[in-house]
Amino acid sequence: MQHLIDPMDLTKEEIDGILHLAQNIIKDKEKYSDKCHGKKLATLFYEPSTRTRLSFESAMMELGGNVLGFSEASSSSATKGESVEDTVRVVGCFADIIAMRHPNEGAPKLASMYSPVPVINAGDGGHNHPTQTLTDLLTIIEEKGHLDDFTIGLCGDLKFGRTVHSLIKALSRYKNVKFVLISPKELKVPEYIITEVIKPAGLMYEEVESLEENIGKLDVLYMTRVQRERFFNEADYVRLKDTYILDKAKMKLAKEDMRILHPLPRVNEIATAVDKDPRAAYFRQVMNGKYVRMALILTLLGISE
Ligand code: CP
């Protein structure tokens, strides 16, 4: 039985297979509309979500399956002290596959060790968000045509941003990807990402603070939100939250074919005036998230094309 907890749980070939299947689904949705008939997905969300939970549920519905679950811990027996281990043992009696979001890093991993059905990590604290990464990879392919030979700028909260950590891990398997890591000193990417992921892969990277000075060299700009919920004190959040605001003036410095990605939700780090720019790919990215989750569900359930 295969789970997805960390993007590195999948080989590069498996990732490419899921992305290829997602592209086939985009081309012929009808072909897949009954593939999960009789199957159930449980979404166990101990932390808020709009995109991830609803895209998982929409994905299962579009495959002809059903969904059940909870969208906040307070409506589950976690409030009575039930452990994650017991919860998945129970939910595994009702569902064929589980998507779990949890504020505690490692909770979905723990769940996978006790679950009788596949567990998908839908985001664990500041750690990983592998299905957002699959979404991001599919979007880069759809927008740029390839996952090798490009320069990506990751901008904003690189310290707590689980989407950033997962995306760098996944991209480290592709050839000649250059990382421009744009953040204030306080929100730099964790050291292990540099020493254990980027450097062993032999990929080029630079850590910089200015978006204006670096945007012109990027093929993809991955903007992120400064995450209030991960800060230990409000004063630091207030001081750092407006460090980067992508607006029309900064977009004039970018390449004509650059693409802007953002895992969303956005607060104010991308001005709404940028939404009309054809280079803004973040709402197309949301749609890709549904297709890639359809492909992942089929893959983990072992349902063939
Ligand atoms: N990108 C993402 O994880 O969004 P949600 O928090 O709304 O699921």
Among candidate residues 3, 109, 129, 293, the one labeled active-site is 129
Query: 26 C-alpha vs ligand 1 centroid, how far in Å?
Result: 21
Where is pLDDT greater, at 118 or 304? 118
Q: How far apart are CA 43 and CA 189, in angstroms?
A: 29
Q: Indicate whether residue 265 lines ligand 1 (CB < 6 A).
A: yes
195 catalytic, yes or no? Answer: no
Query: 264 C-alpha vs ligand 1 centroid, how far in Å?
Result: 6
Helices (H), 206-276: 234-240, 248-251
Query: 123 C-alpha vs ligand 1 centroid, how far in Å?
Result: 8
Residue-wise pLDDT for 179-211, tens only, equals 999 999 989 999 999 999 999 999 999 999 999
Residue-wise pLDDT for 81-138, tens only, equals 999 999 999 999 999 999 999 999 999 999 999 999 999 999 998 889 999 999 999 9
Mean of all residue pLDDT scores within the chain:
95
Residue-wise pLDDT for 221-251, tens only, equals 999 998 777 777 888 778 878 889 999 999 9
- Mean pLDDT, rounded, for 280-288: 98
pTM of the model: 0.95
Q: Indicate whether residue 285 lines ligand 1 (CB < 6 A).
A: no
Cite the beta strand spans of 110-188 per DSSP E. 119-124, 150-155, 177-182
101 catalytic, yes or no? Answer: yes
Burial 131-163 (b: 16+ CB within 10 A, else e): bbbbbbbbbbbbbbeebeebbbbbbbbbbbbbb
Q: Indicate whether residue 52 lines ligand 1 (CB < 6 A).
A: yes
